[in-house]
Structure 1
Amino acid sequence: MREVVYGSIPIATRYGHWVVLADGRQCGFQGTLLNSASRVSENESLRAIPGVTTAVTIEQLGRIFTARVTNLLLARAVSRLNAGQPISFGPLEVGPTGITADDESVAWDEVKDVRTRHGVVYVKKVGWWGTWRKVFVFEIPNYFVFDTLVRAVLDQRPAAGRG
């Protein structure tokens, strides 16, 4: 998602959605909506009606992809994590004991916060003044699965582990 600017005034949003199929093929969908149309699109609820084809905007297509893929892959990720297996999300790996990046790990009880701002994921570590790791969202395959999984693990920690 990227703003289209005329002078210094944002006038539209450019969307791009990429799907990687199980056999490795990739399919891309791109489009641009004026900001007024984007706001209308974002506020419309989406309901599937069996047997009926409904036109959707590029923004709505992204929401559909996100919801469906996240639901499917999150269940698999939780099962793997519960089985003691780590899950790779590009430069970050989420495991039963913590988060790993570049052969360095931070244990769950040392993770102060994982926050996303302006397209960047920040992993903060207890006792560190700055950020332990900073990764662009576009570098994280299945970012919404990553985010939902990490939030669930962090929410389950005892209050003492949230230092």
Structure 2
Amino acid sequence: MRQKVVDHYHYGVSQGRSHVYTLNGPDGETLLLPEAIPHPEHWGPVIQDAVTEAQLPIALAAVRRGETVSFGDISVSRDAVTAYGRSITWDQMEQVSVEAGTLSLNVAGKWLPPARTKVSHIPNFFVFHALAEHLRASA
């Protein structure tokens, strides 16, 4: 699942928020949930929670077996998170955060954006975030 939630402004005045969710099935089929569906702010988080609940245990089990789990350009192993050739070990990681729609990692008191990766470009971001927080806290 990918999500893109954007606040729109015109000369500093809010013009509303748009929500676009892209779901990918196990068979690779893609379903785009358009803005035309009423109340995406309500059903979007429900879908995110369900995807995370279903996929987090699978991802965690894979990491515990020594496998690497990929989330687009970011990969997670039992030892580190790697993005664009740069690895950060879990014991170095202080916090995983999102600022203005961009993933940032706090390492030794410094925020390191993994090549300014937008949350909307990270498949199953909420699975990634929950997995990363679990591994960081366990280090």
Q: Same fold (TM over 0.5)?
A: yes
Structure 2, gaps ≥5 residues long: none
CA contact (8 A) 1:115 1:123 kept: yes
Residue 43 of structure 2 corresponds to residue 61 of structure 1 = yes
* Map of 1:139 onto structure 2: 121
TM-superposition CA deviations, 1:45-93 (whole Å, max 9, x none): xxxxxxxxxx962222211210111111101001101111111111111
Q: Which has the larger radius of gyration?
A: 1
Secondary structure of the equivalent of 2:22? strand
CA contact (8 A) 2:71 2:125 kept: yes
* Map of 1:15 onto structure 2: 19
2:30 to 16, 26, 30: 26
1:90 to 67, 72, 75: 72
* Map of 1:105 onto structure 2: 87
Secondary structure of the equivalent of 2:91? helix
Give the number of the structure whose residues are more often strand, by fraction.
2
Cα deviation, residue 6, structure 1? 4.8
Instruction: Using structure 1 for the length normalisation, give the TM-score.
Output: 0.73
- Residue identity in the other structure for 2:82: T
Q: 1:132 to 1:69 in 2, by over 3 A?
A: closer
Secondary structure of the equivalent of 2:67? coil
Cα deviation, residue 104, structure 1? 2.7
2:55 to 50, 58, 73: 73
Aligned length: 134
Query: Highest relative contact order (Cα 8 Å, sep 6+), 1 or 2?
Result: 2
Structure 1, gaps ≥5 residues long: 33-54, 158-163
CA contact (8 A) 1:16 1:31 kept: yes
Give the number of the structure whose residues are more often helix, by fraction.
1
Calculate percent identity across the aligned residue pairs. 21
CA RMSD of aligned residues (A): 2.1
Instruction: Using structure 2 for the length normalisation, give the TM-score.
Output: 0.84
Q: Which whole-Å CA distance do the structure 1 matches of 2:44 and 2:110 have between them?
A: 36
Q: Which whole-Å CA distance do the structure 2 matches of 1:140 and 1:24 have between them?
A: 16
CA contact (8 A) 1:125 1:132 kept: no
CA contact (8 A) 2:71 2:128 kept: yes
Cα deviation, residue 118, structure 1? 1.1
Cα deviation, residue 129, structure 1? 4.8
Cα deviation, residue 112, structure 1? 3.0
Q: Which whole-Å CA distance do the structure 1 matches of 2:31 and 2:112 have between them?
A: 35
